[in-house]
Amino acid sequence: MPDCCEIRIADHGPGFPEEALPYLFDAFYRVSESRNQEDGESGLGFSISRRIAELHHGDIFAKNRKDTSGLIVRVLLPIA
């Protein structure tokens, strides 16, 4: 994406199984079925983030960290 701003967020959590990464931004997707709304998780955070990025004509990506455990999330937004 030409002339864009990149925001990169990295954590040191457990990461996600590789097979789950394509679905992280799907509404209501949860990696573990044992997680439920009683735990305060709805499976909407990543999908809301993607929608916000799209509304600003940008995109968002996630991948596991290679050097350590955790996830890297990249948000690309065009510069006005």
Average pLDDT value for the chain: 88
Per residue in 47-66, pLDDT (tens digit) is: 999 999 999 999 999 999 99
Say if CB 7 and CB 58 are below 8 A apart. Answer: no
Q: What is the radius of gyration, based on Cα positions, of the chain?
A: 14
Residue 43, pLDDT above cutoff 90 = no
Q: Please tell me the predicted confidence (pLDDT) of residue 78.
A: 96
